[in-house]
Structure 1
């Protein structure tokens, strides 16, 4: 396994710095593998109430997981474009617009969780096979430069950020 050094400021946007900061581990791929059990346990706690929200107008648990899966795909696609040396400026996206177009309420929570896991495992396979030079390759998303290694950490950091929200704001589901 190639050592994946930590990205430095300038390899990601100020907005995304919080995601990078949520991944202090040196062994990124091992951390991503370990996280699956943590995420599964946290979300399974809401199996009986997947439409629970912590405040009016906020996303349901099911929508949070759907969003996590969408962002996993977006960050992973960006990572792939940049790793392959594609010179195209990649687009940003507006999560609230995406949520209005998504219908995560029709999915069973276990199905959404399985889909998230499948997308993550796909990214892990890609990451395992990157060459040493791929990790520091740069590309542009919107008006900001990103490196592959920053995007890889952002995959895990975004997941952890939403788990913090679930654990901190959604709290335990109250019976009935």
Structure 2
């Protein structure tokens, strides 16, 4: 699985509704300032060799697609699931050339569906084990790490786009 963004909570202490609400709050807090970006501003990289805002949200969209499948699969049965080549996914989908409003809408819609899906998980399933890219984990950890990963990228993007704002 590579980099993790959270230490993880004991799955017995997690609540799917609270996880869903956390993700929803992250979306709503971010979409307000993300929507203020122009297409031109969202197309400019922080520096050479780095992703622009469109590509960062594209990456987070790809993460949503991959993790939705994992979240559903881990509720059904134990599985060993692959990671994904994030740089290739972003490049092949050419997010930089897509309209910012479309990238933002896709990211938001997929994550709204994840909010719904996570909120309807049986709490006992949060302890379900799986393996992602060779890393053993629980469904609860996967969801916590997914949210922390999103917050990591959004915080970094906001600090770059809107320096001095929290």
Which of the five TM-score ranges fits, normalised by the shorter chain? Answer: 0.7 to 0.9
Alignment of 1:39-50 (within 5 A): 39-48=30-39, 49-50=41-42
In structure 1, the partner of 2:64 is 72
C-alpha RMSD of matched pairs (Å): 2.3
Aligned length: 156
- In the aligned structure 1, how far is the partner of 2:90 from the partner of 2:7? 20
The 8 Å contact of residues 21 and 115 in structure 2, kept in 1 or not, is answered as no
Deviant stretches of 4+, over 6 Å? none
Deviation per CA, 1:127-160, whole angstroms, max 9, x where unpaired? 2221122111001112111211111112221211
The 8 Å contact of residues 68 and 159 in structure 1, kept in 2 or not, is answered as yes
Matched, 1:60 2:52: yes
The 8 Å contact of residues 45 and 52 in structure 2, kept in 1 or not, is answered as yes
**Corresponding residue to 1:158 among 110, 130, 149:** 149
SS of the equivalent of 1:55 reads coil
TM-score normalised over the length of structure 2: 0.82
Q: How far 1:171 moved relative to its partner? A: 4.2
Structure 2 segments unaligned to the other structure (5+ residues): none
- Higher share of residues assigned helix: 2
